[in-house]
Structure 1
Amino acid sequence: MSKNIRLIHPRDQITTIISRIYKRGMTTTSGGNISIIDDEGDIWVTPSAIDKGSLRASDIICVKKDGTIIGKHKPSSEFPFHKAIYEARPDIKSVIHAHPPALVSFSIVRQIPNTNIISQAKHICGPIGYANYRLPGSDDLGEVIADEFKKGYKAIIMENHGTVLGGSNLTDAYERFEALEFCARTILYGSQIGKPAYLTDSQIAEFEDQATGVLPEMEETSFPSDEVEKRLQICKIVQRSCEQGLMIGSYGTVSMRWKNNDFLITPTGINRWDLDIDDVVQIKNGHREAGKIPSRATWIHQEIYNRNPKVNSIIMTQSPYLMAFGVTKSYLNVRTIPESWIFLQDINSVKYGAHFRKNNNSEIVDNCATALIIENDSVIITGDKLLQTFDYLEVAEFSAKSVVLGNSLGEMVPINDDQVKELREKFLS
């Protein structure tokens, strides 16, 4: 989706995002609905009882300001609460309602996920409201939801129902939706292996304060063919990471070494789903490409490249099963299957704050491991070729998932020392 979302028709915005939600397993064929209110006050909304997996722009309904319905289907049965939200909050221009499994888990035990589980979610999601149960599709439901939005919330847990979120545009609403579901998943998965630990507001504020400062701009930038090729590789891996649930739109940094210690890196402030080659930022001799703001983790990537000449690509992201270990301070033993140990050996963790610029970061950048977890923040994967680094990320996440799921069956029996010795002699000698 183009970053200039105002130039995309609401029908196309809605079909893009509902397809994304469906393919990521965050709604069902019949569940969920999305709407956008345009500058004329007309509301564009998904239709009722039409397959969310194959929705087309021509299926989207327009409910005019005067109540006239334009389209070949009926508007969503939940249209009343969409309309009520727009009437209650003129600053809200888009609404997403869905039944993603993790957030439904919270709604049926009548709890609100604590977004302090990871560093950036509090800022993205804001405080979370709670709407008591009312009959789906009823005016009563619209009233209780609108009442919550009137309190200033942009994200609401709906009792025994799901969630509803608003945004200044559809990208904003989706980032909030995706981040909140990620928090819920991380808490749930973490609870299966330990006790999730949460950041304090002051820790989050400290992260925001230290992550400031921008490199000086280059006076001139060249774009030779090998540089352009790496930009395309970065965009493809970011897109793939988002599609496979290994990255969310509001968080994730990918970089590739270009020449010597110069490199290319993803920007800050750009939704990862929408990343284009023009967004990628060139870093050369400690300067950034003019007119672009690189990731706030650029300094970590620069130090890794400076001190580790064999590292040529880095992925810094949040994936739910790896972060389950990151929020519980649990050790991820990757002696699960031979491939996991061969690729990763050991995955250690560092405390939250070790990634702050002002702190000693030797644990992260000196002799950096293939995979390292930063508690309540992210996982850093390093490698030679970018596709190889992405493979390591997949293997690490699959290993974490196996351990989390296996924990309900019994105690893990890892590959023993003799078996590890055989693997080391055959594959690493």
Structure 2
Amino acid sequence: MNARDARGRFRVAVTGIGVKTPAGNTPEEAFQTFLAAKSTAATVDRLVAEAVPVRFACLVPPFEPEAYLTRREARQIDRVTLLALCAAADAVTDARLPGDLPPDRTGVQLGTGIGGLPSMEATALDHGGFPMGMPVHTVPRTMTNSPACRIAMRFGFRGSCTTYATACASGTTALGEAARKIRHGELDVALAGGADAPVTTVIMSGFARMRAVSLRNEEPWLASRPFAADRDGFVVGEGAALLVLERWDLAVARGARIHGEITGYADNCDAFHIVAPHKDGSVAAACMRSALADAGLSPADVGHVNAHGTSTLLNDRAEAAAIDRCFAGQSPPVTALKGVTGHLIGGSGALEAALALRCASAGLVPAIANTRTSPEADVVDLVTGVPRTVRSAPVLSNSFGFGGQNACLVLSPAP
């Protein structure tokens, strides 16, 4: 099989996947939860105790951090770094990476929209009145690049170690930029993805003040409903997803199991509004078309679309318009996974890319949780009710963030 694509660039294989998410702490658990279209939103006691306007979120189910790091290491890091490190370790295990990789040819590319802000918030509340009582690890814990650097330190990856902050598109941006570095020979292997842990008093209250989140406090499991006629805002979630990306020929040479391939990537910016999308979807549609062109594919080659699908009125409406534009009125099946996990901010794009690839390989598209009727159903083919069986084909995965940050990936199942 060819090691290079039609443009002479190195092909990029996905050989490992690790997740720590509300849908499950392994890729298979998450896949089954998505197929069941089961919402993970639930009341969070600490939000109730602190009288936060929105009292629910999607949290990662308990797991054993001691299986991944020592108690001393755990004390030195915050939750977003913990989730990212554990997901990265699972991805490396899944990829069965050899121990003799050239360290300068391996790297980490990680996206986060919130980063260490929760640790900063907690430290300010606990120690703001006594500055000299600040914990000694305050700065390393709150640095936005801490998750990426901790991952690089854990595995001895000495190549490019970069953190991307493109709001809700951060995880997708990190995957796309990692693929670019491998394509052009800068890296042989990259751990790439996204992570965020934004369920805190300040962040949740800030989203509520913006009227961006759902306030269905009495029925949290029904709150995240992408594209639904009665949607009223997104649900905040936490989590991390990391993928091992490798140069295709090197992965084949070592006998790696290949989950699939990143074949296309593009990003652009609406340059329109700090939180609202360009309502006609034209810029997002251009990003989608560019990703397909980068993959050397036409819209007809796409088996399904994994929508950003936040469950907000304006974003879902604009994305439906963008999909309609990109596919010239011939929409493939469209799903949106945030009905299950809520919005993991910087972690969403990476998780959704990983699961979109799994769905494409299985030929199954999950139904959108909590969505039965939609005003957007007239322009896009929304998968509702039960999973849809489709041909095994490339999938287009969208991420659109605050600031008009658009990023799209094309992922193809392994032959």
Whether TM exceeds 0.5 here: the answer is no
Question: Structure 2-normalised TM-score?
Answer: 0.29
Which structure: larger Rg? 1
Question: Structure 1-normalised TM-score?
Answer: 0.29
Between 1 and 2, higher relative CO (CA 8 Å, sep ≥ 6) is seen in 2
